[in-house]
Amino acid sequence: MKAVVFEKFGEAPTIQSVPDPKPAADGVVIKVEATGLCRSDWHGWMGHDDDITLPHVPGHELAGVVVAAGGRVTRWKAGDRVTVPFVGGCGHCFECTSGNHQVCEHQFQPGFTAWGSFAEYVAIDFADTNLVRLPDEMEFATAASLGCRFVTSFRAIVDQGRVKPGEWVAVHGCGGVGLSAIMIASAMGANVIAIDLTEAKLDFARKIGAVATINASTTSNVVKAVKQITNGGAHMSMDALGHPTTSFNSISNLRRRGRHVQVGLMLGEHAKASVPMSKIIAFELEILGSHGMQAFRYQAMMEMIRTGKLNPELLVGKKISLDEAPAALMAMGGFEGIGIGVVTKF
């Protein structure tokens, strides 16, 4: 099969012909119909992820059709249209059996712990636990855009952030994660403030539900601006970018007993960002992480998509071919364009 392969961290990936994958006993092989481009792929390529062994095929936001299933798989067969969350739970460890597959002790992550979906085919382990059936009407590109940033934002806003109608939510960074969070929080009935450096992204944020925006490139004190708009601070705030400044601002702009959810990755030189600890204590702030979402939680999200309350297709950005993926991947170190880039031609 054709795949995007890198042999060394930080060196340009190339298109290569590699052996087709075979399913594990509890796994499937999926013919990839769409796969999203994500900053996590860039981090992996840069060598920031210890799970990756070389040579490697990146890609973790995928949708496609099952072409083969291992002998122990009971729920899936060739022809099924599916997607997966980027963290696949083993289904057997303590975290999985208590419903927290997103922090499984033996997690399978395509594009990290195994070869990923920047290829014509991808093998997915623990299929019965992690595959999600696609509604007939959902396009593959939309489905692929869900698996990482959209589901992580759903869990961050709904399950971790516990956002309630009428609350103020601040979203720092309007890339794929941030825009997803704005759409989801708005659908939950919250009042959302979008914060970014570029006016075009803030315009788009308003279109999908933000009631206020702050341009951090022209606002000297973002924290003060959030507090003014919200009359005292956000109830819930999220760093969707993953940067010491946005993380610090997101915690600092909370009102008393507010919840900060960190979704943007903090890797490499940013792994040990500083936090305003005295304020965390005095205001009884909650600091939460959010890491993917369990496959069984897709059902609630899919119903909100089916009824038109969430429109993830609006967040699909540029559609490109696999041949264009190496250059696009290397460019992910900069800021993303509007929406989620998806490979749809293989």
Nearer to Zn ion, 52 or 226 (CB): 52
104 binds Zn ion (CB under 5 A): yes
40 binds Zn ion (CB under 5 A): yes
Of 10-18, 86-94, 217-225, 249-257, which part binds Zn ion (CB under 5 A)?
86-94
- DSSP-derived 3-state class of residue 181: helix
Task: Output the six-digit token pair for 14.
Answer: 């190339």
Task: Output the six-digit token pair for 119.
Answer: 């290829």
Distance (Å, whole) CA 207 – CA 218: 21
90 binds Zn ion (CB under 5 A): yes
Nearer to Zn ion, 261 or 285 (CB): 261
Contacts with Zn ion in 160-219 (CB under 5 A)?
none
Q: Strands 191-196 and 286-289: what pairing?
A: unpaired
96 binds Zn ion (CB under 5 A): yes
Whether the ω angle into residue 55 lies within 30 degrees of 0, i.e. cis, is: yes
* Cβ-proximal residues to 32 (8 Å cutoff; 6+ apart), any chain: 59, 62, 63, 64, 117, 119, 120, 121, 122, 346
Nearer to Zn ion, 104 or 193 (CB): 104
- DSSP-derived 3-state class of residue 153: helix
Tell the residue number behind the tokens 């083969």, with chain if given.
68
Distances (CA, A) of 289 to 151, 159, 247: 14, 11, 12
93 binds Zn ion (CB under 5 A): yes
Nearer to Zn ion, 212 or 295 (CB): 295
Distance (Å, whole) CA 25 – CA 206: 47
Distance of closest approach, residue 101 Cβ to Zn ion, in angstroms: 6
Nearest to 176 by CA among 204, 199, 137, 134: 204
Contacts with Zn ion in 122-141 (CB under 5 A)?
none
Distance of closest approach, residue 219 Cβ to Zn ion, in angstroms: 29
Among the listed residues 23, 44, 89, 341, the single contact to Zn ion using CB under 5 A:
89
Q: Strands 132-133 and 81-83: what pairing?
A: antiparallel
Distance of closest approach, residue 105 Cβ to Zn ion, in angstroms: 5
Contacts with Zn ion in 236-275 (CB under 5 A)?
none
Distance of closest approach, residue 260 Cβ to Zn ion, in angstroms: 21
Of 95-103, 288-296, 311-319, 323-331, which part binds Zn ion (CB under 5 A)?
95-103
Nearer to Zn ion, 96 or 146 (CB): 96
| Number of residues located near Zn ion, criterion CB under 5 A | 8
Q: Strands 28-36 and 340-345: what pairing?
A: antiparallel
Of 63-71, 142-150, 316-324, 337-345, which part binds Zn ion (CB under 5 A)?
142-150
Nearer to Zn ion, 36 or 233 (CB): 36
Nearest to 156 by CA among 139, 132, 172: 172
3-state secondary structure 202-248: HHHHHHCCCCEEEECCCCCCHHHHHHHHHCCCEEEEEECCCCHHHHH
Distance of closest approach, residue 15 Cβ to Zn ion, in angstroms: 21
Nearer to Zn ion, 38 or 124 (CB): 38
Of 74-82, 116-124, 147-155, 239-247, which part binds Zn ion (CB under 5 A)?
147-155
Distance of closest approach, residue 235 Cβ to Zn ion, in angstroms: 27
38 binds Zn ion (CB under 5 A): yes
Binding site for Zn ion (CB under 5 A): 38, 40, 89-90, 93, 96, 104, 148
